[in-house]
Amino acid sequence: MANGQGGMRRPNNPAPVSGPGALSRRTDGGPQQQTSKMTGLGYGENADYNEMQQSAPMSASGSAKSAAVRGREARTAGKQAAGAKPLFSPTDRPEEPVTAGAPFGAGDGRPVNPGSKNIAQQDAMTLGKYLPEMMTMANDPNTPDGFKRFVRHLRNMQGA
């Protein structure tokens, strides 16, 4: 053995060898959560970021549990969650159409923000005083198309 190298090397974790076939297990310790490094943070902020990652470790994804054990655990977790319903359980609102709240189809179809049209109209009127300068800039051949569309939209809103 030159320089102390060679010879038997004892594995660190968890088992030196794996069993055959169905008894086989990982010998490298399995998957583990890796903390990611954040760049561009100020002095001391990366330590806070790493501390947050380590405070809530993720479970290893390569579990050797059988499908029956995972299914049983999922059913018990579903029963323990307060107020949670299974995905394919019967509805609590049989008379309500599935498109209720959407801006199309059956249902009340109320918009997400009822005052958004009025707010957009007020903004367009406020920006109207800048419209002549914006139209001059929009006529320049080097002006981006997005700005030209914005000015056209703003001009159309003035007449509405």
Domain coordinates in residue numbering, the chain: 118-160
Q: 26, 35 in Cβ contact below 8 A? A: no
Contacts of 116-124 spanning 24+ positions with Cβ under 8 A: 120/157, 121/157, 121/160, 124/154, 124/157, 124/158, 124/160
Per-residue pLDDT of the chain (160 residues), as tens digits, is 556 677 777 666 655 677 788 877 766 666 666 677 777 777 877 787 778 777 766 665 444 455 555 555 655 554 555 667 888 888 888 888 888 877 777 777 665 566 666 787 888 888 888 999 999 999 999 999 999 999 998 888 887 5
Look at the block and give the residue holding tokens 């054990």: 69
| Residue 138, token pair as written in the block | 């929009």
